[in-house]
């Protein structure tokens, strides 16, 4: 084939393939946008495991009528101006890609009213084609509706797992964000059934109880550790409470859920010989690091990060974990490397 520049349509769908892998990835991007907009309350409605409908409404800043078309354009963002800014990211979003990507593979609409604005506005995008912006009523804040996800990419539909798996992914994701933002009220509805409701009162143990049950939530140990402006807090399991895999080890860095094998390994190693072979701790850990020490621009879905000084972060995690284990559990300190 001769070399040709891809049409915008095809380019968007390729980009969407990286950002929008499954319904839970749509939920993640929309939640992050709501949190970036300063929402105090976020409602999520899911129908048909996210294939029929994903609706996220928030009471955040909203989008002005004049900017609504831009919000769904590719590489359009209010969060970043220069490449230099990439190393001081304090928002969850920055790529300006999510809404355009999601809109290119769904029937998509936004209804929004900016704080203090008298009227709101509405835009519809179908398979990437945006209609003109219209005026609309509605409360301050933003409601994004994603219907018929992947209706125009049947190949992608075939890769989706069983409904119960996709639903579980969404539950897990929203619960984790609720944990990271306990001051925000979250409500999640799946096919008109509430699967998560948090109060926004800041109490993380209450949310942990919804994720793991009251008994486990009660047993988890609190971690709190500070090293030169790098901060670790959260919850880890005592040595008696273990899992058969690493899946219940969750890390947030500067409010962002990340998957990091080295961080997970650092945490597991902190338990050293205290766990039986093949058993793993359960943990929900929040790291607050100077933004310039974390490169978040390494993964399209922003799920992985790179550290400027990885060793420092790993030892923060290990020392914090050890300290918490020693402080709470009646284990002899022998065998714990310093
Ligand atoms: P990014 O979050 O990387 O900037 P997005 O495509 O997710 O890119 O969103 C584009 C822009 O639309 C954002 O920069 C923001 O200005 C606006 N926006 C999106 N969602 C919301 C929301 N829920 N509330 C207010 N503004 C939003
Ligand atoms: Mg975003």
Q: What is the pLDDT along the chain (338 residues), one digit of tens a residue?
A: 888 888 877 777 777 777 788 999 999 999 999 999 999 999 999 999 999 999 999 999 999 999 999 999 988 888 888 888 777 778 888 888 899 999 999 999 999 999 999 999 999 999 888 999 999 998 999 999 999 999 998 888 888 899 999 999 999 999 999 999 999 999 999 999 999 999 999 999 999 998 899 999 999 999 999 999 999 999 999 999 999 999 999 999 999 998 889 999 999 999 988 888 899 999 999 999 998 898 887 777 667 788 999 999 999 999 999 999 988 756 555 555 54
Q: Would you state the structure tokens that stand for residue 123, as one six-digit string? A: 């835009």
Nearest to 200 by CA among 213, 182, 224, 222: 182
Long-range contacts of 116-119 (CB under 8 A, 24+ apart): 116/140, 117/62, 117/64, 117/65, 119/65
Predicted local distance difference test score (pLDDT) of residue 260 = 87
Q: Which ligand is nearest to the CA of 37?
A: 1
Residue 101 alpha carbon, nearest atom of ligand 1 = 6
Q: Which ligand is nearest to the CA of 34?
A: 1
* Residue 302, CA atoms < 13 Å, CB-side half-sphere: 23
Nearest to 174 by CA among 184, 186, 162, 164: 186
Nearest to 86 by CA among 292, 313, 300, 303: 292
CA of 144 to the centre of ligand 1 (A): 11
Residue 100 alpha carbon, nearest atom of ligand 1 = 6
CA separation (Å) from 253 to 38, 91, 128, 206, 300?
Answer: 18, 12, 32, 21, 16
Q: What is the largest CA-CA distance in the chain?
A: 70
Domain ranges, ordered by start, for the chain: 8-197, 220-328
Residue 42 near ligand 1, beta carbon < 6 Å: no
Domains 8-197 and 220-328 share a fold: no
Helix (H) or strand (E) run with residue 44 in it: strand 41-47
Q: What is the pTM of this model?
A: 0.91
Residue 79 near ligand 1, beta carbon < 6 Å: yes
Q: Which ligand is nearest to the CA of 63?
A: 1
Predicted local distance difference test score (pLDDT) of residue 16 = 73
With H, G, I as helix, E, B as strand and everything else as coil, classify residue 150: coil
Predicted local distance difference test score (pLDDT) of residue 329 = 57
Predicted local distance difference test score (pLDDT) of residue 18 = 72
**Which residue's alpha carbon is at the smallest distance from atom 1 of ligand 1?**
96
**Which residue's alpha carbon is at the smallest distance from atom 12 of ligand 1?**
71
Give the ranges where the chain is alpha helix by DSSP (H). 8-19, 23-36, 68-71, 98-104, 154-157, 163-180, 204-212, 214-219, 261-270, 310-328
Q: Give, rounded to a whole angstrom, the gap between the first and last alpha carbons of the chain.
A: 61
Does 1.10.1660.10 match the CATH number of domain 220-328? no
Nearest to 35 by CA among 6, 58, 1, 51: 58
**Do the beta carbons of residue 61 and residue 37 sit within 8 Å?**
yes
Instruction: Please identify every residue whose CB atom is under 5 Å from ligand 2, which is an ion.
Output: 33, 93, 98
Per CATH, the number for 8-197 is 3.30.565.10
């Amino acid at each position: 084939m001769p070399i040709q520049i891809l049409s915008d349509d095809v380019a968007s769908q390729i980009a969407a393939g990286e950002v929008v892998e499954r319904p839970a990835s749509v939920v993640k991007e929309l939640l992050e946008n709501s949190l970036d907009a300063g929402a105090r309350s976020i409602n999520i409605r899911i129908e048909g495991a996210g294939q029929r409908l994903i609706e996220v409404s928030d009471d955040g800043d909203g989008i002005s009528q004049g900017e609504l078309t831009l919000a769904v354009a590719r590489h359009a963002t209010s969060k970043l101006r220069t490449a230099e800014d990439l190393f001081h990211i304090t928002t969850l979003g920055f790529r300006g890609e999510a809404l355009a990507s999601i809109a290119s593979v769904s029937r998509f609409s936004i209804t929004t009213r900016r704080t203090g604005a008298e009227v709101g506005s509405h835009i519809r995008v179908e398979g990437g084609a945006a209609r003109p912006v219209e005026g609309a009523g509605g409360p301050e804040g933003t409601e994004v509706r994603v219907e018929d996800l992947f209706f125009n990419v049947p190949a992608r539909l075939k890769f989706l797992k069983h409904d119960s798996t996709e639903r579980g992914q969404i539950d897990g994701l929203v619960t984790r964000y609720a944990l990271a933002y306990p001051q925000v009220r979250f409500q999640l509805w799946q096919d008109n059934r509430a699967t998560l409701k948090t109060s926004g009162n800041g109490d993380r143990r209450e949310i942990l109880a919804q994720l793991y049950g009251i008994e486990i939530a009660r047993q988890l140990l609190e971690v709190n550790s500070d090293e030169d402006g790098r901060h670790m807090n959260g919850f880890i399991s005592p040595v008696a409470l273990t899992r058969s895999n690493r899946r219940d080890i969750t890390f947030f860095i500067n409010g962002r859920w990340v998957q990091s094998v080295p961080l997970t390994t650092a945490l597991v190693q902190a338990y050293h010989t205290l766990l039986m072979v093949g058993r793993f701790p359960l943990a929900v850990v929040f790291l607050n690091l100077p933004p310039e020490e974390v490169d978040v621009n390494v993964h399209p879905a922003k799920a992985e990060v790179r550290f400027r000084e990885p060793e420092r972060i790993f030892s923060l995690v290990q020392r914090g974990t050890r300290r918490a284990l020693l402080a709470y559990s009646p284990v002899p300190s022998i065998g714990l490397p310093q």
